[in-house]
Amino acid sequence: MRRWRTLLATFAALVTALAVPGAAQADTSVVGGTRATQGEFPFMVRLSMGCGGALYSPNLVLTAAHCVGATGTNTSITATLGVVDLNSTSKITRKSNYVYRAPGYNGNGKDWALIRLASPATGLATLPTASTTAYDTGTFTIAGWGAASEGGSQQRYLLKATVPFVSDTTCNSASMYNGEIIASNEICAGYAAGGTDTCQGDSGGPMFRRDAANAWVQVGIVSWGDGCARPNKPGVYTQVSYFSSAIATAASSLGG
């Protein structure tokens, strides 16, 4: 069931990736969000297969495993960086040259991957990953160019929202995901009432918050959910703290 949803979501993201944003959704996306301002989240990346990502280092983008294919040479992905408006003439674009997908990824958990850019994107702030569980609680920021409503079109302008942490126990309760959450490596966020969430096309993008020094730190990767913004169906995110040392090891092996 989980795997089916993720695959369906990926398909939906692919077929809608190039859609022109709907006029009726000008100011809401990420479902229940508002427009991010230029430069507010300089690490946000849009990927050509219809996913999001975060700039991990000048030449590496952290995204979701379900957004990419198997580990190996891959020159088919275009990353767009440095803009909130995907049609902006000042956008930075980079081709991929390699994909590293989480070892053992099979559609259930371990939903992370690194994409190496053919040349570094300099001058943009990167987003550090949380290396402990210290920040795996509180209020999180989500952002992306994905659908503004369940089944809706992809967005031209980056949208953002905030969502509260939902504990694994609550997220796995009968009224929510009834045991489907992998507590060790997934983290849930959203309102019980619904209304605010990531959605198709936001996958791979970061969920983040401020650390003790008031700097942004990445705590999640958009992974899956039952629909978007439905009551009692929080968004489910890869728990970055659990994978941060594996991500760092992979990053150094990729030269980034």
Write out the catalytic residue numbers.
66, 111, 203
Closest contact distance (angstroms) between CB of 80 and ligand ARG is 16
186 near ligand ARG (CB under 6 A): no
> Would strands 78-81 and 92-101 be described as parallel, antiparallel, or unpaired?
antiparallel
Q: How far apart are CA 14 and CA 215, in angstroms?
A: 33
Size of the site for ligand ARG (CB under 6 A): 17
153 near ligand ARG (CB under 6 A): no
Cβ atoms of 228 and 198 within 8 Å: the answer is yes
198 near ligand ARG (CB under 6 A): yes
User: Which one of 208, 224, 242, 243 is in contact with ligand ARG (CB under 6 A)?
Assistant: 224
Cβ atoms of 159 and 216 within 8 Å: the answer is no
Closer to ligand ARG by Cβ: residue 21 or 225 = 225
The residue type of 104 is G
225 near ligand ARG (CB under 6 A): yes
Stretch that binds ligand ARG, among 113-121, 157-165, 169-177, 192-200 (CB under 6 A): 192-200
Q: How far apart are CA 73 and CA 249, in angstroms?
A: 18
Q: How many residues comprise the chain?
A: 256
End-to-end CA distance of the chain: 36
Q: Which residues bind ligand ARG (CB under 6 A)?
A: 6, 9-10, 13, 146, 197-203, 222, 224-225, 228, 235
